[in-house]
């Protein structure tokens, strides 16, 4: 079974909140077809709304939050803020691609990260897509102040973004992999793969996040499929099946490895720290995802628990935890002893 990286949150042990983002809207049409009759914002809202309905129907206990439910303009930073305030555990942003040429077609899934090597033609294409999706910022009033000088048309503005670590990278990659697999054989035929890009809306969401490009509005075959309600429903169904699979992996993984909060007896060699995530694979302690911290790794069965800010003093560990929480929102305090690792408040 696939098992990704799961920050175990004390407030919930299952995937209870998903945020669905219908790209563009209102005065921001997004990509437009060659004949100027079809708009990205229309297709994304249709697919996102159908996806939301499917999740609500099969999982009534899951809170489904949409960044927009009508044809209205929503600023990029507000999309992320809506997701964060809702306590989202998964963010899915739905988009439609476009190109100057009519030949490119297919779907792709994107997660936060650094774009491909600048020496490859792929990098130029990647940055064109990134700039286009981020350029909605320019439609906002006083955008230079709101985004602290971030310029979506300047590649230098992306440098600081790629330096910021995504604590949910592996989870996001897992979601992207499941979505990519489910889209195979659907209305949009060509699989363009999984990409890492500095999309602003992915960077600012404090949860696993993916941006899906469902075909090219500039390609006649893709556009023909997108114009058909049945084909859009098919795409939404495939996204729903991906959500269903990911939720199953997420929930079962946490159920298997959950420890109840307890007040264990005092034993020797007790230490305290902050667990930032757990993974089925071994991660090099020097990996950038640890942001300079040296992790203590506790192996329990097939799961590796990564704990940082470890001290013999509970007070010191709590002090360190305050800083760690700003970098790893899903972290929690743990007690380490010969009895194992126990979460506590």
| In a shared domain, residues 157 and 275 | no
Most confident of 70-79, 117-126, 334-343: 70-79
Q: What is the predicted pLDDT for the residue at 298?
A: 85
As a whole-number percent, the residues of the chain with pLDDT over 90 amount to 47
| In a shared domain, residues 316 and 244 | no
Q: In this predicted model, what pLDDT tens digit does every residue of 180-200 receive, in sequence order?
A: 999 999 999 999 988 876 676
| In a shared domain, residues 277 and 138 | no
DSSP state of 99: -
Q: What is the predicted pLDDT for the residue at 343?
A: 76
Task: Give the confidence band of 287 by pLDDT, cuts at 50, 70, 90.
Answer: confident
As a whole-number percent, the residues of the chain with pLDDT over 70 amount to 70
Q: What is the predicted pLDDT for the residue at 341?
A: 79
Q: What is the predicted pLDDT for the residue at 49?
A: 98
Q: Per-residue pLDDT averaged across 102-112, rounded?
A: 92
The DSSP result for 9-24, as a single string, is: -TT-SS--EEEEEE--
Give the integer Cα–Cα distance in Å for 166 and 291.
Answer: 10
Look at residue 266 and tell me if it is in a domain: no
- Work out the mean pLDDT of the chain and round it to a whole number: 78
Q: What is the predicted pLDDT for the residue at 222?
A: 98
The CATH number of whichever domain residue 313 belongs to comes to 3.30.70.1070
Q: What is the predicted pLDDT for the residue at 39?
A: 98
Q: What is the predicted pLDDT for the residue at 249?
A: 80
Look at residue 233 and tell me if it is in a domain: yes
| In a shared domain, residues 86 and 179 | yes
Look at residue 8 and tell me if it is in a domain: no
| In a shared domain, residues 78 and 211 | yes
| In a shared domain, residues 27 and 176 | yes
Q: Which residue has the higher pLDDT, 31 or 117?
A: 31
Number of domains in the chain: 2
Is the pLDDT at 216 greater than 90? The verdict is yes
Give the integer Cα–Cα distance in Å for 309 and 317.
Answer: 6
For residue 278, list its beta bridge partners: 305
Structural domain harbouring 328: 271-343
Is the pLDDT at 36 greater than 70? The verdict is yes
Is the pLDDT at 274 greater than 60? The verdict is yes
Query: By three-state DSSP, how is residue 141 classified?
Result: coil
The CATH number of whichever domain residue 196 belongs to comes to 3.40.630.40
| In a shared domain, residues 191 and 152 | yes
Would you say 341 and 300 are in contact if contact means Cβ atoms under 8 Å apart? yes
Q: Which residue stretches of the chain are H helix?
A: 40-58, 76-85, 121-134, 143-146, 159-163, 169-183, 200-203, 220-226, 229-257, 314-327
Q: Which residue has the higher pLDDT, 153 or 318?
A: 318
| In a shared domain, residues 218 and 312 | no
Report the predicted TM-score, pTM, of the whole model to 2 decimal places: 0.64
162: tokens are 């790629």
Q: Which residue has the higher pLDDT, 145 or 274?
A: 274
Look at residue 307 and tell me if it is in a domain: yes
For residue 300, list its beta bridge partners: 303
Q: What is the predicted pLDDT for the residue at 177?
A: 86
Q: What is the predicted pLDDT for the residue at 32?
A: 97
Task: Give the confidence band of 143 by pLDDT, cuts at 50, 70, 90.
Answer: very low
| In a shared domain, residues 327 and 239 | no
| In a shared domain, residues 180 and 117 | yes
Is the pLDDT at 170 greater than 90? The verdict is no
Would you say 296 and 336 are in contact if contact means Cβ atoms under 8 Å apart? yes
| In a shared domain, residues 179 and 315 | no
User: Among the listed ranges 36-45, 131-140, 161-170, 308-317, which one has the minimum average pLDDT value?
Assistant: 131-140
User: Among the listed ranges 100-109, 114-123, 167-176, 278-287, which one has the minimum average pLDDT value?
Assistant: 114-123
The DSSP result for 196-260, as a single string, is: EE--HHHHT-SS-EEEEEEEETTSHHHHHHHTSHHHHHHHHHHHHHHHHHHHHHHHHHHHHH---
Look at residue 138 and tell me if it is in a domain: yes
Q: Per-residue pLDDT averaged across 233-247, rounded?
A: 96
Look at residue 258 and tell me if it is in a domain: no
Look at residue 3 and tell me if it is in a domain: no
Q: What is the predicted pLDDT for the residue at 198?
A: 67
Domain boundary among 201, 220, 252: 252
Give the integer Cα–Cα distance in Å for 203 and 209.
Answer: 9
| In a shared domain, residues 71 and 209 | yes
Look at residue 44 and tell me if it is in a domain: yes
Is the pLDDT at 4 greater than 70? The verdict is no
Give the integer Cα–Cα distance in Å for 101 and 261.
Answer: 57
303: tokens are 């799961």
């Amino acid at each position: 079974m696939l098992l990704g990286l799961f920050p175990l949150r004390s407030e919930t042990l299952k995937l209870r909140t998903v945020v669905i983002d219908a790209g563009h809207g209102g005065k921001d049409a997004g990509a437009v077809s060659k004949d100027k009759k079809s708009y990205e914002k229309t297709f994304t809202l249709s697919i996102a709304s159908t996806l939301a309905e499917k999740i609500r129907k099969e999982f009534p206990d899951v809170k489904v939050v949409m960044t927009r439910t009508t044809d209205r303009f929503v600023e990029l930073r507000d999309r992320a803020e809506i997701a964060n305030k809702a306590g989202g555990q998964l963010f899915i942003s739905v988009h439609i691609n476009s190109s100057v040429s009519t030949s490119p077609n297919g779907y792709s899934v994107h997660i936060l990260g650094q774009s491909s090597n600048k020496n490859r033609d792929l990098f130029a294409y990647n940055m064109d897509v990134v700039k286009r999706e981020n350029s909605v910022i320019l439609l906002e009033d006083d955008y230079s102040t709101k985004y602290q000088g971030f310029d979506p048309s300047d590649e230098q503005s992306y440098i600081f973004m790629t330096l910021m670590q995504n604590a949910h990278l592996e989870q996001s990659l897992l979601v992207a992999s499941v979505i990519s697999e489910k889209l195979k054989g659907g209305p949009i035929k060509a699989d363009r793969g999984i990409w890492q890009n500095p999309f602003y809306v992915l960077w600012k969401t404090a949860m696993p996040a993916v941006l899906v490009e469902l075909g090219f509005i500039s390609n006649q075959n893709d556009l023909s499929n997108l114009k058909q309600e049945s084909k859009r429903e098919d795409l939404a169904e495939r996204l729903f099946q991906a959500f269903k699979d990911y939720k199953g992996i997420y929930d079962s993984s946490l159920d298997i490895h959950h420890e109840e909060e307890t007040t264990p007896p005092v034993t020797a060699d007790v230490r305290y720290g902050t667990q930032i995530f757990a993974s089925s694979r071994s991660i090099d302690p020097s990996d950038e995802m640890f942001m300079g911290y040296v992790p203590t790794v506790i192996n329990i069965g097939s799961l590796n628990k990564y704990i940082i800010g470890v001290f013999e003093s509970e007070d010191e560990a709590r002090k360190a935890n305050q800083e760690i929480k700003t970098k790893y929102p899903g972290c929690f305090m743990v007690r380490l002893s010969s009895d194992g690792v126990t979460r506590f408040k």
